[in-house]
Amino acid sequence: MTPEPAPAPAPPPAPLRFPRGFLWGVSTSAAQIEGAVDEDGRGPSAWDTFAAGAGRIKDGSDPRVTTDHYHRYREDVALLKELGVGAYRFSVAWPRVVPDGRGAVNAAGLDFYDRLVDALLAAGVAPVPTLFHWDTPQALEASGGWLRRETAEHFAAYTDAVAARLGDRVTRWITLNEPAELTLLGYGLGQHAPGRQLLFDALPAAHHQLLGHGLAVQALRARGATDIGIANSHGPTWPASDSPADTEAAAFYDLLLNRLFAEPILLGRYPDDEIAALLPGPVADDLKTISAPLDWYGINYYQPTKIGAPTTEATDFLGVRLPPGLPFAPREITGRPRTGFGWPVVPEALTELLLSFRDRYGAALPPVMITENGCAYDGIEDPERIAFLDGHLRALRTAMDAGVDVRGYFVWSLLDNFEWAEGFGQRFGLVHVDYTTLRRTPKASYRWLRGVVAEA
């Protein structure tokens, strides 16, 4: 019998192509990479305090050194230059600039960001500072943190101080990173700093962060800034079934994690009158500040979420312990590869998300930036991360071809880092960090992305 011919090999995937001027970047945050928590007059942050508590960080680590970016930033800038990206999204540590969160500005803390910005510009990499990435100054947290309206006002004053020092060289700014996660995990469930367990009484923290965003936009505009956005986390919410109970629960989850943080900014209103009634202060007037026009809207995307009707038991959900009694309960997404963190890998959900934003918000949606997208895997040879990034870039391109105006894409993250309550157990970096020697070693995914950026 004549053997059947072997099947023809699958054609190679089409090259990734993006428009001229598309912005390629990588992201980090101060609390996760800087270290040097006791240097140059920096004050303690809520994360320093939280990590010092027994049992709060899975591996017992803390952010005192992390990757020591504070002292090794020149080495990290060289890695950025070699990678070929056009922008570096980092965060400014509020307690390094204003140690108590209010009052005197610490010039020595600002000096570090002066040096970093100058080094980036010399390397041909645009600095994109995020003004707040969860590291609330502990002195403010001790007096209520984001549950208090005054914190938003102090944040605006701090923003002005940073813009006054760096605004002659920095053109693109991000106000906040992921206020939804700080509200839910930090104030609602207590699994991140500041460790409060307020459930729905955490909602004032959401409103005050959004107000802080709006006040920061005002401060930046007053300093002449013309390129401002926010980095909000979003993902599609899928009902577990077509049953009314599941669809109602999914709609509420979508409102709480997506619409509650997008619509005040994009539409100038909260998506639910009952939730708006729970928020403090002159909400209608605050919304006028919160909805000040942005130059672009940043989306952090990692995975979709499947939601069903509530259960009477606590639920483990993507590393988070959800208590019973919530009006929704997560369900497992099956049949998908998973990252080292256990998150499902669903690139096409990024297309779905972007198309849903286009359809829901229409002309109210400014140009979009993907301000975070990435995955945790071990190993320096990391084919899983390459497959993840390739799939998500193709999904992004599909959304762009369908008319979504996306201007840039930032990978999370440049370096392995202190991954919050997980400690050093999850590695998101394009560059491997040996946490004993602090040696940096570019991974296969770093080399792959360098090729994509060069050819795109």
Tens digit of pLDDT for each residue in 333-358?
Answer: 999 999 999 999 999 999 999 999 99
Question: Which range is least confidently modeled, 208-217, 308-317, 439-448?
Answer: 308-317
In order of their start, the domains of the chain are 23-455 (3.20.20.80)
pLDDT tier at 10, thresholds 50, 70, 90 = low
Residues 101-130, mean pLDDT to the nearest whole number: 98
The whole-number pLDDT of residue 322 equals 87
pLDDT tens digits for 234-259? 999 999 999 999 999 999 999 999 99
In single-letter form, the type of residue at position 380 comes to I
Res. 1 pLDDT band, cuts 50 70 90: very low
Is pLDDT at 12 greater than 90 in this prediction? Answer: no
* SS3 state at 397: helix
Pick the catalytic residue: 263, 372, 384, 419?
A: 372
Output the pLDDT for position 132.
99
SS3 state at 156? helix
Residue in the block written with tokens 């409060």: 196
How does residue 316 score in pLDDT terms, banded at 50, 70 and 90? Answer: confident
106-112 contact pairs (CB < 8 A, 24+): 106/40, 106/41, 106/42, 106/43, 108/40, 108/41, 109/40, 109/41, 109/42, 110/161, 110/162, 110/165, 110/166, 111/40, 112/40, 112/70, 112/73
How far are the Cα atoms of 111, 143, 441 from residue 194, in angstroms, in the given order?
Answer: 28, 12, 33
Q: What is the mean pLDDT of residues 170-194?
A: 98
Does residue 3 have a pLDDT over 80?
no
Alpha-carbon distances of 132 from 129, 155, 247, 361, 428, rounded to whole Å: 9, 9, 34, 26, 20
Tokens at 54, concatenated? 């027994």
pLDDT value of position 9 = 52
Strands 320-322 and 406-412 come out as unpaired
Three-state secondary structure call for residue 176: strand
Is pLDDT at 4 greater than 70 in this prediction?
no
Query: Which residues are CB-neighbours of 424 under 8 A, at least 6 positions away?
Result: 59, 61, 416, 418, 435
Q: What is the mean pLDDT of the chain?
A: 96
- 384 catalytic residue (yes or no): no
The yes-or-no answer on residue 178 being catalytic is: yes
Lowest mean pLDDT segment, chosen from 3-7, 40-44, 81-85, 136-140: 3-7
Predicted confidence band of residue 52 (pLDDT cuts 50, 70, 90): very high
Taking the CA atoms of residue 348, residue 411, residue 61 and residue 444 in that order, the dihedral angle to the nearest 10 degrees is 90
Percent pLDDT > 70 in the chain is 97
Q: Structure pTM?
A: 0.96
CA 227 to chain CA mean position, Å? 18
| Residue 6 pLDDT | 53
pLDDT at residue number 2: 46
d(CA 371, CA 410): 5
The percentage of the chain sitting over the pLDDT mark of 90, rounded to a whole number, equals: 93
Position with higher pLDDT, 305 vs 14: 305
Q: What is the mean pLDDT of residues 254-283?
A: 97
Nearest-5° Cα angle at 230, 159 to 167: 40
Predicted pLDDT of residue 7: 55
**264 touches 183 (CB < 8 A):** no
Torsion, Cα 285 219 121 407, to 10 degrees, reads 20
Q: Residues 178, 181, 263, 419: which is the catalytic one?
A: 178
CA–CA distance, 142 with 155 (Å, rounded to integer): 15
pLDDT-derived band of residue 165, with 50, 70 and 90 as boundaries? very high
